[in-house]
Amino acid sequence: MHLYVLLPILAVMLLLQWRKVGMLVWLFVYWIGIFVILKYGFTTPVPQSVISLYMGIITFALIIYISWDKKRFRAVVDPLVAFMTRRRYTVPLVLVVVLIPSLVATSVYLSRTAPVQAPFFARTVHPATPASISAFSTDYDLATLDNPLRPLESDDPQAFARHVANGRAVYYENCHYCHGDDMTGNGQFAHGLNPIPTNFADSGTIAMLQESYLFWRIAKGAPGLPEEGGPWESAMPVWENFLTEEEIWEVVLFLYDFTDQRPRAREEVH
Ligand code: HEC
């Protein structure tokens, strides 16, 4: 939560409590306050569709709350009726009547005349791998780094299957939100992200990559991208902060196992 959003709203509410304002003002303050908190109050942005859903529920709840009790209902409706019928409010009323349609018209106009955006495209270019990275307080030389669990595939298939199963758990606990249940990059958060999450099911992604590359990208996430990989702000989290080194290698195994692909072989270094 962002306290600098939450605290001013609470302060306004306290002030209103103290000034004993009418029900109508409270309605506005609740509605706008909740909207502002949903939109700006969370460190992780809330998708617009979720905000609309919540605001719909809040609107209904507020309508039920005021219409439940006659006194509350009058406290909201009376000032509105007075505003619309009393002579001394004629000028503000005309202003409001003109202002609301013009605001809607302006926002429609602005949304229609927005500059044409480049089409939504799947990213296929992978940034060049750095020579070495440091993660888990260790320095890894990416040119020689291999998945320590890969040899088990031939040496101990049972242990290998166990690691793949752990990788599956890691994936469905952490990754499917973005990369999708079926790894096609269409998780429920994907439509809010640009660049979009990588589609691992595509034969042009992980089959072209070495496991050390995946280890790097998973451990270091979006901030691990070198300059030439930019200038995007990817949502890929820094998994070094949440997973163990072994879990990362396990999820890498699972990515290949699930999509039935093989990692790119390492070029022989002579
Ligand atoms: C919040 C959304 C999100 C989550 C959760 C997420 N990713 Fe990503 N991931 C992305 C995005 C967006 C990209 C593409 C941009 C980039 O390369 O940083 C990406 C890229 C990647 C890449 C780089 C692929 C390439 O071809 O360069 C790998 C590997 C990856 N993710 C693995 C994972 C794994 C494993 C997990 C779970 C432990 C995970 N991701 C969870 C959003 C996410």
Looking up tokens 């029900």 gives 23
pLDDT (tens digit per residue) in 210-235 = 999 999 999 988 876 766 555 566 88
- How many angstroms is it from 16 CA to the middle of ligand 1? 46
Distance CA 115, CA 16 (A): 42
Q: Which amino acid is it at 203?
A: S
Tokens found for residue 218: 């998973």
Q: Is the CB of 152 under 6 A from ligand 1?
A: no
Q: Which of 168, 178, 194, 209 to mutate to test the pocket of ligand 1 (most atoms within 8 A of CB)?
A: 178
The per-residue pLDDT for 133 is 87
For 148, other C-beta atoms within 10 Å of its C-beta total 12
Looking up tokens 């809040």 gives 58
Closest-lying ligand 1 atom to the alpha carbon of residue 193:
12
Closest Cα to atom 14, ligand 1: which residue? 197
Question: Does the CA dihedral 112-114-115-117 come out positive or negative?
Answer: negative
| 240 phi and psi angles, rounded to 5 deg | -55, -30
Q: Is the CB of 220 under 6 A from ligand 1?
A: no
The per-residue pLDDT for 176 is 94
Q: Is the CB of 253 under 6 A from ligand 1?
A: no
Which ranges of the chain have pLDDT less than 50?
A: 121-122, 124
Q: Is the CB of 261 under 6 A from ligand 1?
A: no
The per-residue pLDDT for 122 is 47
Tokens found for residue 196: 């979009």
**CB 193, CB 179: distance < 8 Å:** no
Q: Is the CB of 126 under 6 A from ligand 1?
A: yes
**CB 123, CB 202: distance < 8 Å:** no
**CB 168, CB 254: distance < 8 Å:** yes
The per-residue pLDDT for 129 is 76
The per-residue pLDDT for 245 is 93
Q: Is the CB of 237 under 6 A from ligand 1?
A: yes
